Amino acid sequence: MDMATVSVISRDILYTAILLSAPTVLTSLLVGVMISILQTVTSIQEQTLSLAPRMMAASLVLIITLPWSLKVLAAFTERMITMAAGAGP
């Protein structure tokens, strides 16, 4: 296996990981910012207030994006198996 193949595989792994985690991370970020703005406006200084809404939003996004995530993972697995089959002796 040469360096070009390793580079392609590494790039594909990182791209797939970012692609799969982006919806959940961005949703958690947006919900956290909205809760922080609400806390600032209402002068509530409770640090644990944003945990439950962020967890629920992240869970909901995971459930909604599950079919898409499985398709992305299936395509990734197929690419990796094809590359492994081509790298054999």
pTM (two decimals): 0.80
Q: What average pLDDT does range 4-18 have in this prediction?
A: 92
Nearest to 49 by CA among 34, 67, 59: 34
3-state helix/strand/coil string of the chain: CCHHHHHHHHHHHHHHHHHHHHHHHHHHHHHHHHHHHHHHHHCCCCCCCCHHHHHHHHHHHHHHCHHHHHHHHHHHHHHHHHHHHHCCC
pLDDT at 27 over 80: yes
pLDDT of amino acid 89: 62
Domain map of the chain by residue range?
Answer: 3-86
pLDDT of amino acid 21: 96
